[in-house]
Structure 1
Amino acid sequence: MSALFQPIELRGLKLPNRILVSPMCQYSAVDGAATDWHFTHINSLALSGAAMFCIEATHVEAIGRITPGCLGLWNDATEAALRPILAAARKYAKAAIAMQLAHAGRKGSSHRPWEGGQLIPLSEGGWQTVAPSAVPQKEGEAAPMALDDAGLARIRDAFVQAARRADRLGIDALELHGAHGYLLHEFLSPIANKRTDRYGGSLENRMRYPLEVFDAVRAAFPDHKPVGFRVSATDWLEGGWDLAQTIELAKQLKKHGVDWIVASSGGVSPLQKIPLGPGYQVPFAKAIREEAGVNTIAVGLITEPKHAEEIVASGSADMVALARGMLYDPRWGWHAAAALGGQVYAPPQYWRSQPSTHKTLFGATTFGGR
């Protein structure tokens, strides 16, 4: 039987397979509020066959957005905008719905990727970014403002309030974004964190704020619902954050009650040199799983069902997450089940699409009609 289509339990959440739709920024919100595009995107991929769909990086305050088009969950308007979208997804799909909570830190106030992706100056409608230290993302950019104790408390509380709003929306699980050069990763990495107080310097100090945020979110979110954490396992830079430090963070997160670690990488500096290739980040998931004893999710150029099956079957990770592959093939889970002998849920309106060679793909054997 396919390892990819074996069930898994994350705290009180029971998933029928090991496939996750990774959170993917859509840059299509208005003042942080979801739009019709999100209705299309979320409802489509909730029917992909994946056991869980994770809503894109959802920012906990307005200045925490990457771009003016990024999704947020910081007030009643942003909460209300998501409610009908999630209601529709619940009505027609059975996938669990997670949400990634995020703060962009010094990578905020940027143009959308298709508009160049560069920092928007204050004079052109941008905003003052914040970070652990007043160190810009790249040379020549305006420096972020180093966070003081009041700023740290404000952002930690913003994560808590977003977690509570997510629970009110019926979100099944949360993932904290501690990767890709955004705020929590900035605290972890010596490349971005030059502080000399209790939040900088030693590994213990650099881990302190991300762990405080995790603890605050974990305490605010119902105990039966899981909370994961996405890491950049390496900065791909000498003197930066690396796998050994990631493993130590994962061990600490396990003590604090984390339910999974997504093993990504990079993002803290444009000087990074990433050796891209199919499954290039899988060894990180494997090492974290083995050394820290936590559930891991492998992500990064995983596109073929047989490759995903191999990752899970070999014990390299407990689940796989797909992003671009799901955009290209929104029924990836269906096709993986057909290739590997698994089953997925599909609404009865789609049962007639079941190929004659895979008559139990959806668990339905008949479709009457005239």
Structure 2
Amino acid sequence: MTRFSFDLKATDGKARTGVIHTQRGDIRTPAFMPVGTAGTVKAMMPESVAATGADILLGNTYHLMLRPTAERVANMGGLHKFMNWDKPILTDSGGFQVMSLADLRKLNEDGVTFRSHVDGSKHYLTPERSMEIQKLLGSDIVMCFDECPALPADEKRVAESMRLSMRWAQRSRDAFGDRPGHALFGIQQGGVTEELRAESAEALQKIGFDGYAVGGLAVGEGQEAMFGVLEYAPDQLPADKPRYLMGVGKPDDIVGAVKRGIDMMDCVLPSRSGRTGQAWTRRGQVNIKNARHQDDPRPLDENCSCPACRNYSRAYLHHVFRAGEMISGMLLTWHNLHYYQEIMQGMRDAIAEQRFDAWEADFHAQRADGDIERL
């Protein structure tokens, strides 16, 4: 069995490229993980997600524990078999969704009691139960159970929350045990305060994890504040382990995060945008529902090799979106995920060849040009 490990191949400034080795295959970093919330990346077949260049998917503990239940997934052979995805899967701990989605939640030292947003049923989630659920799902990378306060929040609240998360991190580690081939990541908290982030990073390293996440960002603080934290937070974490920025983001967020030393990211944005008529291209965002596209025979992006750009016009994409046809979300999601993976490959190559700054300048320059002229 392949043990979980991380090889750092090259750096350019703080930007890093490498490979995470898992029992289900290698993950090239920097890596973008499409979000497969309930055992599916919405509007995509698993083989189509793989075709975009994704090495790993993210699954949501909270959603899967409520429906169909972790026990049911385990009885079906685990999440990989259940959803027909044979590459690595990372599962989040459920903490963020409990805070953001659940009704009537009640937090104490032991864990969180909450009511399901699906049917109102009552549930209790603790670090130990989160580890058990993620084990039942069979995920390759397991996340610690943590508490994530929405920002802005006062520093006292952020400090209390961070210290609770560190106690939960120890309990998560203890409950995870020794599982060869599977990895457990700790999550750094501390809001936008450097001293609290440092305290959190030190606590996590004392416990010892296979990788480390920068948590508690992309929760309403804005890009400037997020980048401010990323100027120092990745440097507080071990250089020989993967660093994962949770829940990010837009293309320029991703590039800015990699520039500051991040190796892994996930976000629902490319798939959610695809279903609402938004395409991300190298020239910025295109809103396919706009009337300017209705007679346009050109592709979304003539330099893109995804099926939406290879085989369909803007006029067709506009039409199927307006008509409410399912193929609209399928094609735009495929395009968006393809473009995100293209960004990751571009950064991996640029870092390996020590030309990241030039690549980044070109990335921003193309986006500044804006969409192609209307016909």
Q: Which residue of 1 aligns with 2:57?
A: 53
Corresponding residue of 2:226: 281
CA 284–109 in structure 1, closer or farther in 2 if over 3 Å, else same: closer
Question: Is this contact kept in 2: 1:297–1:320, CA < 8 A?
Answer: yes
Contact 2:22 2:88 in 1 (8 A): no
Give CA deviations for 1:66-100 in whole Å, capped at 9, x if unaligned.
xxxxx57542357539647656222xxxx422211
Helix, strand or coil at the partner of 2:251? coil
Name the structure 2 match of 1:163: 134
TM-score (norm 2): 0.52
1:297 aligns with 2:244: yes
**Superposition pairs for residues 260-271 of structure 1, below 5 Å?**
260-265=211-216
Give the 5 Å matches for 1:241-252.
242-252=193-203
Identity across the alignment (%): 8
Q: Establish whether residue 330 from structure 1 lines up as the match of residue 337 from structure 2.
A: yes
Shift of 1:256: 2.1
Tell me, yes or no, if the aligned pair for 2:91 and 2:142 is still in contact at 8 Å.
yes
Aligned length: 259
1:178 aligned residue = 146
User: Structure 2 matches for 1:99-248, cutoff 5 A?
Assistant: 99-103=91-95, 107=99, 110=102, 119=103, 129-132=105-108, 155-167=126-138, 171-178=139-146, 180-181=148-149, 190-191=156-157, 207-217=166-176, 219=177, 222-234=179-191, 242-248=193-199
Local SS of the residue matching 1:98: strand
- Give the whole-Å Cα distance in 1 for the aligned partners of 2:92 and 2:198: 21
* Native 8 Å contact 2:234 2:243 kept in 1: yes
* Deviation at residue 158 of structure 1 after TM alignment: 1.5
- Whether the aligned pair in 1 keeps the contact of 2:189 and 2:196 (CA below 8 Å) is no
Is the CA contact 1:98–1:174 (under 8 Å) kept in the aligned structure 2? yes
Q: Which amino acid aligns with 2:229?
A: F
Closer, same or farther: CA 46–232 of 1 in aligned 2, 3 Å: farther
Which is richer in helix? 2
Structure 1 residues 77 and 310, CA gap change in structure 2 (3 angstroms): closer
Cα offsets for 1:224-255 (capped at 9, x unmatched): 32221344441x6xxxxx44223222222223
Deviations 1:291-313 (A, max 9, x none): 24254223534404xx755643x
Q: What's the offset of the Cα at 1:21?
A: 1.2
Shift of residue 175 of structure 1?
Answer: 2.0
Structure 1's 161 and 324: CA in aligned 2 closer, same or farther, altered over 3 A?
A: closer
Q: Whole-Å Cα distance in 2 between the matches of residues 224 and 6 of structure 1?
A: 22
Pick closer, same or farther for the CA change 1:254–1:20 going to 2, 3 Å. farther
Unaligned runs of 5+ in 1: 63-70, 111-118, 120-127, 137-146, 194-200, 237-241, 344-370
* Structure 2: tracts of 5 or more residues without a match: 1-9, 113-122, 274-335, 351-375
Deviates more, 1:38-47 or 1:328-337: 38-47
Distance 1:284 1:177, change over 3 A: farther
Measure the CA separation in 1 of the matches of 2:75 and 2:339: 30
Taking the aligned partners of 2:195 and 2:17, their CA distance within structure 1 comes to 30
- Residue of 6, 15, 29 corresponding to 1:17: 29
Give, as a single letter, the amino acid of the residue that structure 2 aligns with 1:8. Answer: V
Please give the alpha-carbon distance, in whole angstroms, between the structure 1 residues aligned to 2:236 and 2:41.
Answer: 41
Instruction: Name the aligned partner's letter for residue 185 of structure 2.
Output: G
Once the two structures are TM-superposed, the CA of residue 259 in structure 1 deviates from its matched residue by 2.5
Q: 1:98 aligns with which of 90, 115, 120?
A: 90
Q: Normalized per residue, which structure has more strand?
A: 2
C-alpha distance 339-262 of structure 1, shift in aligned 2 (>3 A): same
Q: Partners in 1 of 2:33 and 2:264 — Cα distance?
A: 9
1:133–1:192 Cα contact (<8 Å) kept: no
Alignment partners' CA distance in 2, 1:106 and 1:37: 21
